[in-house]
Chains A and B, each alone.
Chain A
Amino acid sequence: MKALVLPVAAGVFFLIAVMLSPLFTGRRWWVALVYLFAAAGVLAVMGLTRPLAGSHVAALRLVDDALARIAFIVAVAVAGFTGLVVADYRRANPHASGEATALVLASVTGALIAAMAGDFLLLIVGIELASLPVYVLTGILRNRPRPAEGAMKYILLGGFATGVMVYGSALIYAAAGSTSMIAAVNALHTGASKHILIAGLALFATGLAFKASLAPFHMWTPDVYEGAPTPYTAFMSAVIKFVAFAGIIRLFAFFAFVTELKHIIIALAVISMVWGNFAALVQDNVKRMLAYSSVAHAGYILVPLATGHKEGVVAALFYLVLYALMSAGAFGLISYNEGEEGKGVTFEDLTALGVKKPLIGLCGVILFFALAGVPPTGGFMAKFYAFKAAVDGGLWWLALVGIFTSMVGAYYYLKVIVFMYMKKREGTGSTGNAKVLTVAGVLLLSLFVLAYGVDPKSLLDVVKVAAEGALQLLY
């Protein structure tokens, strides 16, 4: 029953937020406070339950382990950050922020369920609960063409991915007689219906690859990231990707039995790194650029996973946490410069931002250097571990592809910084009103990104436990 504590806590806070949030929609600080209250409450409940090493499977097909907790903490933290940014954002872009708060928290609940799922159907339900509110948040500025279009595209393609995932879980059920992960592993051992099970797993992984924006399942990413209101883009880029990869890491335990699936992973990694980086080169809109970079980063995260080693999982998780911080921070920074929806998000619009706002400039330097993988930021450490794990696992050429494509990527990240420090022409972004909350949030994330670069061990110790637990579940 202890495994239920977290989801119940999440659900309770979700409901409280739903009830309370419309009361506070009028004032800016209240919105941020609701988020922070929910985040603090959930984290406090988590603190009450003992942190777990290893993995505990309850009868309810829930897994309570460090991976689930990390996913939850990241989701809650990013949600809190989103709350800060939204509070500033909604001044220029009024929208139903009470409902939006509820939706963000519902998505966090879904993220937790997905991260704790020990059952394929439950994983689908969790991911669906994480995604459905994000579809709505994408289109929450519904009388503007781009958000509405982005939401519709996201829903259609997301529905397609859900269909594929459900079909995959149906095949798994047909082969194993149950959708629980334990049953699936047992069926793999007995081996009678192995290839059907593998086909089911592969279809399932395809759906997860869609959510994680891995090429060629990524094509919704740039359109949706551009269309969505920027604070919610920050949320989805961090949380949805984290959840999808948490699912992939759960599935990863199966790869120990099916090493040939490695080739599919390698193919996805290479296509994502190449496609993401090269397509990002030619973008004018920073949000689109970051969307393609998100595809590329999904590829980098897959690189260590392709080795099939525990070290690979550790490196991937490390990267994943840092990517969530960097990406959310970068979108927060864009939101800082954005006025009305879609105004102030091109490279040109960033001109002189760093000169005019030194603190934001410093954050930008940290975040974009981190995305580019330049030391001493955490982004470098993430790439270091990822590529090192690949080399250790014998995939040195994959690491080389990663290094080369990240050199290509360095170009467009630096472009942001160059524009931020270019003087003379006036930026068109609205930085007139002080966005204190946004600055605070972005600064906090930047400091984390920097701190994990200087002292990666503190995070590494945590993700090591998570990786061990996640793999232990099915062995």
Chain B
Amino acid sequence: MFGELIILSAVLFAVGAVGFLTRRNAFVVLMSLELMLNAANVVFVAASKQWGGPEGLASVLIVIAIAAAEAAVALAALLALFRVVGTEKIDEWRALRG
């Protein structure tokens, strides 16, 4: 079971990475980031059971909190940027380059 869960986490991480790299909509890109963090949580949970200790589960809670904090700031920044440039499409943000 442990091995299968690791595979699940790897696949989720990879799906998150693909979403992060290919989607133009910034909201979906941010969701992909959440997917990647969740993939790590799966590893924490699986390993926590095998080790027979609750530390990994406590780690999950902390990771969730980090994800929440990041999501809040990211969405606020996205709103601010949207107000200025009028688009949420990632590849149209090209004021900074070179």
Contacts and interface: CB of A to CB of B under 8 A. Distances in A.
Nearest to A282: B98
B26 interface: yes
A179 B33 contact: no
Nearest to B94: A149
A177 B74 contact: no
Contacts of A136: 73, 77
B71 to A, nearest CB: 9
A146 B62 contact: no
Contact of B95 (A146, A151, A177): A146
Interface string A118-146: 00010011001000100110010011111
B56 to A, nearest CB: 5
Contact size class for B? 35 or more
Contact of B84 (A121, A124, A143, A223): A143
A145 B77 CA distance: 12
Contact size class for A? 35 or more
B47 A163 contact: no
Contacts of A283: 98
Contact of B59 (A143, A146, A173): A173
A46 B63 CA distance: 30
A155 interface: yes
Q: Is the interface of B mostly helix, strand, loop or mixed?
A: helix
A116 B31 CA distance: 32
B81 A151 contact: yes
B15 interface: no
Given A143-B83, A167-B40, A152 B98 contact: no
Nearest to A342: B95
B59 A121 contact: yes
A66 interface: no
A155 B47 CA distance: 29
Nearest to B62: A121
A160 B20 contact: yes
B70 to A, nearest CB: 6
Nearest to B85: A145
A227 B85 CA distance: 14
Contacts of A159: 30, 33, 70, 74
Nearest to B53: A177
Interface in B76-98: 77-78, 80-81, 83-85, 90, 93, 95-98
Contacts of B30: 156, 159
A125 B90 CA distance: 27
A288 interface: yes
Given A156-B33, A174-B46, A149 B96 contact: yes
Contact of B55 (A125, A139, A179): A179
A223 B96 contact: yes
12 contacts: A128-B69, A135-B73, A136-B73, A142-B83, A145-B85, A149-B95, A153-B96, A162-B66, A170-B43, A170-B47, A174-B43, A226-B96
Top 3 A-B residue pairs of the complex, sorted by shortest distance between their CB atoms: A163-B36, A174-B47, A170-B43
Interface of A: 121, 124-125, 128, 132, 135-136, 139, 142-146, 148-153, 155-156, 159-160, 162-164, 166-167, 169-171, 173-174, 177-179, 222-224, 226-227, 283, 288
